[in-house]
């Protein structure tokens, strides 16, 4: 064996919740950290410890042991305890790019509050890695990446160290943990007994064997040994073991150290490294467990809803108030983000834990949503205070959260009173509601606008000024041509003629506008005509149900598969002018057989309802599919036959798109062979022959494109075990074999997606902009009472963006400016412009971490001009002039 250096990093990989609940694991965490602190304090030879790259561990521990905060702070400042850069160890495919940035922002802030942040891209166990992670890490001054899952290249050729290149060309130094992140979990001082037998992850008979494997893949004569594993206590004897190994193995120098030391040694050797580009989402050597994309789909849907509310509504409204001179509401949002991010841990959002854990997650989603909604209402009421409403009228202010002009359907919870004394310290108020059917809705241009009324519901608001109980009524209408990121006043004005609802018309099987026509068929599918091109798409919304003998991690079709297609007993009705309702029943096998090799002969009825809405000026065909799932052990997908012979699908990822080839090639010998399903964020499209069909979605992250051009979106994947060892599609267990009856997803589920046929390319129709408009709706508030702060006026547009996509508009972490983040979502260079409608004192370019400012280029009008590389992200720090 040639001489090598081994950096030994003691660590413990800490899943906050997985097969045990958070509190059960926290009890063990406290014991582990108590022992760690005692050893670090009392044994100077035990020099360092890596706290798993996530600061939430400190938060969880100190809630129980606050008296140890200064001990931790001293150890972090001394460089002996490495913390950060993450808040939690996230899954990357099931959360947004902005959520990953918030994760690092909060993690960095917390680590720095203890004295130092470990600027190492340590992501040891996440189930694959997105193509923009190099750019995200680089934006936080992190230039390394350590990972176990996802490599598809031949490691013997690529070696353990290589350059990982993101979509925009940014590179980081990647180190592949080929023998896992637990490669030195059971250390001893004897190389012959330094062994590990964990067939699902790594096995070796002695230290010589391990070092031979690592050594032949090392590029700089240095190897990385991680002394720890899932929830393991430390080995206090490690320094003594390393001294013994140094005596026994003179050709190897063992050093207890850090990831930073390892990076410095590799870089100082200046090895010639290969480059790997794009996603790392392959199961060649370690399973990526990619079917977690569709496990417990209700979690993905809730996450997407709360994430969009925080990023697209609450943060932008809070920034608008701040930019116009109002109060800073970001403290509440930081709390909401911390709550939501706890659900982004990879064993949490992936849905691969016990039922009790995922029930607790739903409470966190609700808590984060409550805070975000409170900020939205507070900020909207403040902005609405600038509106002038005449006596006898009810003002309705509508907010466009996007940095481009928008039209769309909006629902506002209106208080049907001419006066509600919100913001006034008044006891005993009792209002007299008016009949909104006797009112006209007048738009900003003075035109009358049709509207629909929902059912009134009782609310109790205004706690700080004495609670007031009254009704609110959902008022839904089409808001046209709203300027970018601003609010506009609509007025409900009394009229003599009563407003009447449009009656339901039965058995009218089509709806249309000037772009498209949608027609229902007797088999429950629909046909869609793209009028500009004359192209028909037939058989859309076909339901496809397959057996699944797998577990929460992995889809595994039974050997004798039964596939069920199509609805029976189909009924078609039309609701109003613009909505088509298709109802039917899917008869599917009740479960897999006892031996799990097939599906039962017994079948159950699964009622399905598609509600399709095509409004006159809509840019998509909206669909809401309701499924009453009564079956077990199956995967349910909705099919869109595109008729297009495309070689690739195009799916949104964080800050860009990924082209996935249609899978036809089998991968022999892989730990987890690919099955064809892929990840998406908010859209996927198929295009060829000058035409395309895109599907937008709200929280449906898994799809597949078949060689025949069928696009399938997964709605449900229903299984009954956390892990099983008898799968046809994966080697060995992925976790404990607990039963998880909630993961069968029995009950009623609602799924939302939208169809966008087009000519040309996805870039021509701006699918990223459509995806934002679909997932971040217009919102509003009725104008009543007083507010502590209101702007003197509302600008025509707070922020508008051309040539790029707005990703964030938020108050800066320092609380003294606003952050505007844009990205070029195209695969070609773009010239972008950012204009401001509020007085600006200074504009600077900053990193994702909001530091390292540099001057931004502006034109004569004060707009910022940006030359963006393909898929480049740019962040502006804008200081308002008050």
Q: How far apart are CA 853 and CA 14, in angstroms?
A: 35
Structure confidence at residue 861 as a pLDDT band (50, 70, 90):
confident
DSSP 457-507: EEEEE-GGG--EEEEEEEEEEEEEEEPTTEEEEEEEEE-SSPP-PPPPEES
Helical (H) or strand (E) element with 77: helix 69-77
**What pLDDT does residue 505 have?**
41
Q: How far apart are CA 51 and CA 57, in angstroms?
A: 8
Q: How far apart are CA 479 and CA 602, in angstroms?
A: 50
CB 858 within 8 A of CB 845: no
Residue with tokens 């609700």: 366
Alpha-carbon Rg for the chain in angstroms: 28
Q: How far apart are CA 809 and CA 360, in angstroms?
A: 30
Token pair, residue 302, equals: 């809730």
Mean pLDDT of 378-398: 95
Whether the pLDDT of residue 346 is over 80: the answer is yes
Strand order from edge to edge, sheet including 222-227: 222-227, 4-10, 252-256
Strand partners, 714: 637
Q: What is the pLDDT of residues 475-516, one digit of tens each?
A: 999 999 999 999 999 999 998 654 444 444 444 689 999 999
Q: How far apart are CA 664 and CA 675, in angstroms?
A: 9
Q: 3-state secondary structure string, 362-414?
A: HHHHHHHHHHHHHHHHHHHHHHHCCCCCCCCCEEEEEEECCCCCEEEEEEEEE
Q: How far apart are CA 624 and CA 754, in angstroms?
A: 8
Token pair, residue 449, equals: 């606008």
Q: What is the pLDDT of residues 653-699, one digit of tens each?
A: 999 999 999 976 788 889 998 889 999 999 999 999 999 999 999 99
Q: Is 677 helix (H, G, I), strand (E, B) or coil?
A: coil
Q: How far apart are CA 564 and CA 544, in angstroms?
A: 6
Q: How far apart are CA 742 and CA 517, in angstroms?
A: 40
DSSP 596-608: SSSB-S-EEEEEE
Q: Is 542 helix (H, G, I), strand (E, B) or coil?
A: strand
Q: What is the mean pLDDT of the chain?
A: 96
Mean pLDDT of 239-243: 98
CA distances from 763 to 342, 459, 804 (A): 35, 44, 11
Helical (H) or strand (E) element with 575: strand 568-575
Strand order from edge to edge, sheet including 864-868: 799-802, 830-836, 864-868
Token pair, residue 475, equals: 């008022």
CB 5 within 8 A of CB 253: yes
Q: With pLDDT > 70 as the criterion, what percentage of the chain qualifies? A: 98
Q: What is the pLDDT of residues 432-463, one digit of tens each?
A: 999 999 999 999 999 999 999 999 999 999 99
Q: How far apart are CA 841 and CA 629, in angstroms?
A: 56
Three-point CA angle 152, 157, 163, nearest 5°: 70
**What pLDDT does residue 506 have?**
45
Whether the pLDDT of residue 639 is over 50: the answer is yes
CB 858 within 8 A of CB 864: yes
Cβ contacts of 351 within 8 Å, gap of 6 or more: 292, 295, 296, 299, 300, 358, 552, 743
CA dihedral sign, ordered 38, 44, 48, 54: positive
DSSP 240-294: HHHHHHHHH-TTEEEEE--HHHHHHHHHHH-----EEES-B-BBSSS---GGGGS
Whether the pLDDT of residue 707 is over 60: the answer is yes
The phi and psi torsions of 419 (rounded to 5 degrees) equal -150, 125
DSSP conformational letter for 634: E
Q: How far apart are CA 166 and CA 187, in angstroms?
A: 36
Strand partners, 679: 702
The distance from CA 14 to its chain's CA centroid, rounded to whole angstroms, is 21
Q: What is the pLDDT of residues 351-376, one digit of tens each?
A: 999 999 999 999 999 999 999 999 99
Residue with tokens 């490690």: 238
Mean pLDDT of 407-411: 97
Angle (deg, nearest 10), helices 355-384 and 315-323:
30
Q: What is the pLDDT of residues 100-111, one digit of tens each?
A: 999 999 999 999
Token pair, residue 609, equals: 């309802």
CB 749 within 8 A of CB 782: no
Q: How far apart are CA 191 and CA 244, in angstroms?
A: 9
**What pLDDT does residue 496 have?**
64
Helical (H) or strand (E) element with 702: strand 702-705
DSSP conformational letter for 315: H
**What pLDDT does residue 32 have?**
98
Q: How far apart are CA 405 and CA 479, in angstroms?
A: 11
Whether the pLDDT of residue 721 is over 50: the answer is yes
Helical (H) or strand (E) element with 359: helix 355-384
Strand partners, 599: 592
The phi and psi torsions of 361 (rounded to 5 degrees) equal -60, -40
815: alpha, beta or left? (left if phi > 0; alpha if psi -120 to 50)? left
CB 296 within 8 A of CB 360: no
CA distances from 609 to 299, 563, 574, 584, 620 (A): 21, 20, 13, 7, 19
Token pair, residue 261, equals: 């030391």
Q: What is the pLDDT of residues 201-220, one digit of tens each?
A: 899 999 999 999 999 999 99
Mean pLDDT of 854-874: 94
Question: Quick check: bond before 85 cis, omega within 30?
Answer: yes
CA dihedral sign, ordered 102, 107, 113, 119: negative
**What pLDDT does residue 508 have?**
61
Mean pLDDT of 411-437: 95
- Beta strand 161-165 with 510-512 is unpaired
Three-point CA angle 76, 78, 79, nearest 5°: 65
Q: How far apart are CA 720 and CA 742, in angstroms?
A: 8
Token pair, residue 9, equals: 């990093």
Cβ contacts of 513 within 8 Å, gap of 6 or more: 614, 615, 616, 617, 618
CA dihedral sign, ordered 621, 622, 628, 632: positive
Burial of residue 740, with CB atoms counted within 10 A of its CB: 0-12 exposed, 13-18 middle, 19 or more buried? buried
Q: How far apart are CA 374 and CA 336, in angstroms?
A: 11
The number of beta carbons lying within 10 Å of the beta carbon of residue 812 is 18
Strand partners, 878: 818, 843
Q: What is the pLDDT of residues 514-558, one digit of tens each?
A: 999 999 999 999 999 999 999 999 999 999 999 999 999 999 999
- Beta strand 579-589 with 568-575 is antiparallel
């Amino acid at each position: 064996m040639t001489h090598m250096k081994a950096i030994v990093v003691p660590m413990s990989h800490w899943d906050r919740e997985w097969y045990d609940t958070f509190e059960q694991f926290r009890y063990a965490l406290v014991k582990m950290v108590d022992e760690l602190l005692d050893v670090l304090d009392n044994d100077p030879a035990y020099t360092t410890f890596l706290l798993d790259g996530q600061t939430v561990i400190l938060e969880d521990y100190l809630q129980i042991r606050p008296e140890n905060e200064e001990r931790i702070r001293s150890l972090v400042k001394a460089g002996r305890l490495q913390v950060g850069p993450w808040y939690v160890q996230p899954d990357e495919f099931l959360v947004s790019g902005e959520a990953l940035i918030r994760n690092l922002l909060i993690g960095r802030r917390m680590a720095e509050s203890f004295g130092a942040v470990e600027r190492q891209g340590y992501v040891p166990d996440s189930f694959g890695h997105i193509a923009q992670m190099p750019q995200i890490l680089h934006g936080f001054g992190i230039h390394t990446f350590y990972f176990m899952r996802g490599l598809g290249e031949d490691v013997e050729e690529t070696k353990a160290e290589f350059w990982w290149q993101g979509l925009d060309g940014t590179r980081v130094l990647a180190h592949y943990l080929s023998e896992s992140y637990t490669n030195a979990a059971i250390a001893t001082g004897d190389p012959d007994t330094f062994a590990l037998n964990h067939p699902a992850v790594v096995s070796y008979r002695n230290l010589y064997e391990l070092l031979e494997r690592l050594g032949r893949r090392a590029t700089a004569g240095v190897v990385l040994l991680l002394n720890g594993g899932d929830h393991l206590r430390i080995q206090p004897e490690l320094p003594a073991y390393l001294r013994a190994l140094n005596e026994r193995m003179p050709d190897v120098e063992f050093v207890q150290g850090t990831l930073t030391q390892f990076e410095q040694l590799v870089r100082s050797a200046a090895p010639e490294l290969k480059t790997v580009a794009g996603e790392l989402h392959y199961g060649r050597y370690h399973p990526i467990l990619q079917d977690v994309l569709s496990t417990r789909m209700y979690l993905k849907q809730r996450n997407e809803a709360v994430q969009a509310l925080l990023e697209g509504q609450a943060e932008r409204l809070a920034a608008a108030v701040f930019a116009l001179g109002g109060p800073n509401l970001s403290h509440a949002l930081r709390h909401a983000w911390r709550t939501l991010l706890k659900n982004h841990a990879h064993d949490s959002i992936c849905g691969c834990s016990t039922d009790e854990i995922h029930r607790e997650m739903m409470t966190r989603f609700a808590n984060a949503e409550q805070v975000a909604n409170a900020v939205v209402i507070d900020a909207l009421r403040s902005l609405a205070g600038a509106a002038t409403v005449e006596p006898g009228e009810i003002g309705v202010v509508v907010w466009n959260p996007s940095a481009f002009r928008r039209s769309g359907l909006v629902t506002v919870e209106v208080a049907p009173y001419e006066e509600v004394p919100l913001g006034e310290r008044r006891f005993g108020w009792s209002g007299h509601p008016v009949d909104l059917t006797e009112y006209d809705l007048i738009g900003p241009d003075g035109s009358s606008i049709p509207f629909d009324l929902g059912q009134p519901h009782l609310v109790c608001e205004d706690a700080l000024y004495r609670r007031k109980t009254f009704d609110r009524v959902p008022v839904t209408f089409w808001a046209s041509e709203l300027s970018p990121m601003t609010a506009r006043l609509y007025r409900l004005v009394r009229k003599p003629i009563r407003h009447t609802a449009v009656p339901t018309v039965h058995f009218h099987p089509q709806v249309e506008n000037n772009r498209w026509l949608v027609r229902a068929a007797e088999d429950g599918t629909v046909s869609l005509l793209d009028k500009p091109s004359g192209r028909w798409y037939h058989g859309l919304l076909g339901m496809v149900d397959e057996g699944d003998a797998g577990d929460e991690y992995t889809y595994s079709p039974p050997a004798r598969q039964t596939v069920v297609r199509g609805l029976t007993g189909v009924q078609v009705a039309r609701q109003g002018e613009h909505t088509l309702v298709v109802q039917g029943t899917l008869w599917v096998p009740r479960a897999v057989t006892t031996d799990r090799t097939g599906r039962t002969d017994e079948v159950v009825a699964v009622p399905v309802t598609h509600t399709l809405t095509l409004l006159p000026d809509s840019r998509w065909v909206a669909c809401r599919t309701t499924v009453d799932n009564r079956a077990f052990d199956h995967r349910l997908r909705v099919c869109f036959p595109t008729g297009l012979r495309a070689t690739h699908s195009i799916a949104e990822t964080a800050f860009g798109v990924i082209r996935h080839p249609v899978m036809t090639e089998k991968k022999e010998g892989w730990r987890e062979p690919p099955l064809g399903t892929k990840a998406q964020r908010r859209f996927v499209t198929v295009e060829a022959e000058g035409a395309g069909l895109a599907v937008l979605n709200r929280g449906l992250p898994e799809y597949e494109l078949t060689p025949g051009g069928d696009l399938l979106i997964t709605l449900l994947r229903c299984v009954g075990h956390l892990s099983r060892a008898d799968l046809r599609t994966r080697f060995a267990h992925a976790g404990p074999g607990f039963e998880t009856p909630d993961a069968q997803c029995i009950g009623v589920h609602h799924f939302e997606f939208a169809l966008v046929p087009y000519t040309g390319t996805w870039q021509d129709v701006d699918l990223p902009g459509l995806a934002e408009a679909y997932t971040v709706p217009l919102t509003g508030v009725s104008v009543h009472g007083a507010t502590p702060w209101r702007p003197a006026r509302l600008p025509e547009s707070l922020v508008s963006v051309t040539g790029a996509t707005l990703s964030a508009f938020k108050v800066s972490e320092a609380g003294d400016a606003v952050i505007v983040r844009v990205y070029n979502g195209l695969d070609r260079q773009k010239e972008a412009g950012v204009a401001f409608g509020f007085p600006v004192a200074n504009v600077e370019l900053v990193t994702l971490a909001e530091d390292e400012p540099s001057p931004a280029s502006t034109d004569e009008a004060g707009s910022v001009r940006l030359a963006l590389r393909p898929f480049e992200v740019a962040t502006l720090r804008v200081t308002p002039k008050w």
